[in-house]
Amino acid sequence: MDYVCACYRSCGGAAMVNRAINFRHSGLFDWIIQRFSAVVLAAYTIFILGNFLLHADMDFHAWKSIFDSIFTRVFSIITLIALCAHAWIGMWTVTTDYITSVQFGENATVLRFVFQFFVFLIVTGYLIWGVQIFWGS
Amino acid sequence: MLVSIYRYNPETDDKPVMQDIDIEVPSGKDLMVLDVLALAKEKDPTVAYRRSCREGVCGSDGMNINGSNGLACITPLSDVVMPGQKLILRPLPGLPVIRDLVVDMSIFYKQFEKVKPYLLNDDPPPGIERLQTPEDRAKLDGLYECILCACCNTSCPSFWWNPDKFIGPAGLLQAYRFLADSRDTASTERLEALKDPFSVFRCRGIMNCVAVCPKGLNPTRAIGHIRSMLISQGA
Ligand code: SF4
Ligand code: SF4
Ligand code: FES
C-alpha cells in the first residue's frame, strides 16, 4: 500500500528541498523536520527568555527595539515556519492515529480529510498573518 | 480461587461477557496461568484457548493476564495475582476474536510477511554455506529468538490504531534481524520499503513491547537501529 502524507502536496518549498536531497516523501522526512523544528523552537524560546533577563525593566520601547532588528525578525519568521511545519506534521500524525476506521468505521477517511483541511487553513492563516506582523512596520 | 475469563463467540453472542469460574488451586505449588486455565476448562469444557508446547517456545498462548500480555504457560500465578485476588484472562487486545481467548492473527502475520523475513542474497551461493564471523553472528543475538507470540504488537497503541500500516514491534525486530545480517545483501531495498510515514515511524518509543516480551527481547532498540540506518541512507 502506498500512503502519501498530505504535507507532500502542501509543503511547497520544503517539498523541493525534499526532492533536492532525495528523501522523496517519507516518514523519515517528516521525522527529521519534526526534530529540526523542535530545535529551532527551543532556540527561539531561549532567545526570548534571554532578552527578558537582559532587560530587567522591559518596557514597550525595549520590546520594540528588539523586534526592530533584522536578526529578530528573520529569526522570528524562521521560528514561525518551524512552528507551522511542526504543528502540521504533528496534527497529521495525530489524525492518522485517532481518526481511522478503527475508531470511526467507514466515515473515517472523510472525517479525517475535513479535519485536516481545517488544520491546514488555520496553519496557513497563522503563517501569513505572522509574516505580516513580523515584516510589517 | 476465582478465574474470570472473557467469553465470546462472534457467531452467536451479541457481546462478550466475563465468566467467573471457581477452581481449587492445589496448595504448596505455584501454578502457571496455563495450568489454572486447564483447571477452569475442567469445570467448563467450552472455554477456548490455544496452547501447544507449554514451555514458552511455540508462542500459541499469548493472552492478556490481569491487564498485561504474556504467555500463560510461563507466567507463574504469583507474578500476576496476590493471594485471594481474581485471575482475569482476556484475549490479546486489538485483534479480532474468533472464540474466547483465541484471536485471529492474520494481520499480525501479514505485517511480518511484509518485511521479507528471510535471507536475500544475489551472490552465487558458495559450495557449502555462506560463512559469517563469530562477531557478525553475535549481532543477531536478541533478534532471532522471537517466537511470534504477538504479545508485543497487541500491547502497542500504534499497532492498535494502524494495524494495517504500522509493521509493529515483532515485524520490525525481524526487519532489523535481516538488516543486521552480514550475509544479507538487500539492505537498501529493505530500508526503501520501510521509509513511509507508517511502517517504522509510527513507533513512539512507548516501550510497551519491551515490557511484555516473554523472551526478554527489545524491539524498541531494534527500531532505533532501523531509524538510524534510514537516516544515514537518506542523508
Ligand atoms: S516502542 Fe514502538 S513498537 Fe514498542 S510498543 Fe512502543 S510504539 Fe509500539
Ligand atoms: S518480540 Fe517478543 S513479544 Fe514480540 S512476538 Fe517476538 S517473542 Fe513475542
Ligand atoms: S504453550 Fe507454547 S508458548 Fe505457551
Q: Is the pLDDT of residue A20 over 50?
A: no
| Mean per-residue pLDDT, A111-123 | 96
The DSSP secondary structure of chain B, one letter per residue, reads -EEEEEE--TTT-SS-EEEEEE-PPPTT---BHHHHHHHHHHH-TT-----SSSSSSS-TTEEEETTEEEEGGG-BHHHH--TTPPEEEEPPTTS-EEETTEE--HHHHHHHHHT--S----SPPPSS-----HHHHHTTTTTTT-----TTGGG-HHHHH-TTT--HHHHHHHHHHHHT-TT---HHHHHHTT-STTTTTT-----HHHHH-TT---HHHHHHHHHHHHHHHH-
In this prediction, residue A83 has a pLDDT band, given cuts at 50, 70 and 90, of very high
B144 — contact with chain A (CB < 8 Å)? no
What ipTM is given for this predicted complex?
0.82
Query: Is pLDDT of B57 > 50?
Result: yes
Q: Supply the mean pLDDT for chain A.
A: 84
What is the pLDDT confidence band of residue B28, given thresholds at 50, 70 and 90?
A: confident
**Domains defined along chain B, listed by start:** 2-103 (3.10.20.30), 106-234 (1.10.1060.10)
Dist. CA B120–CA B111, nearest whole Å = 18
User: What's the grid cell of residue B148?
Assistant: 511470534
Q: d(Cα B3, Cα B158) in Å, to the nearest integer? A: 30
- pLDDT tens for A24-67 read 467 999 999 999 999 999 999 999 999 999 888 888 998 999 99
Residues of A in contact with B232 (CB under 8 A): none
Q: Which of A27, A32, A100 sits opposite B197 (nearest CB)?
A: A27
Strand bridging mode B62-65 / B102-103 = unpaired
In chain A, where the domains are located: 2-136
Q: Is A31 on the interface with B (CB under 8 A)?
A: yes
- Residue B159: all three cell numbers together: 499497532
Residue A70: what pLDDT? 94
CB of B101 closer than 8 Å to CB of B34: no
- Verify whether the Cβ–Cβ distance A3 to B202 is below 8 Å: no
Task: Please give the average per-residue pLDDT across B8-27, as a whole number.
Answer: 95
* pLDDT the model gives residue A74: 96
Per this entry, what is the length of chain A?
137
Q: Which fold has domain A2-136?
A: 3 helical TM bundles of succinate and fumarate reductases (1.20.1300)
Kindly indicate the confidence band of residue A21, based on its pLDDT and cuts at 50, 70 and 90.
Answer: very low
- pLDDT digit string, tens, across residues B207-216: 999 999 999 9
Is residue A7 pLDDT above 80, yes or no?
Answer: no
Is the predicted pLDDT of residue A81 greater than 60, yes or no? yes
Say what the pLDDT of residue A122 is: 97
Nearest CA in chain B to A1: B165
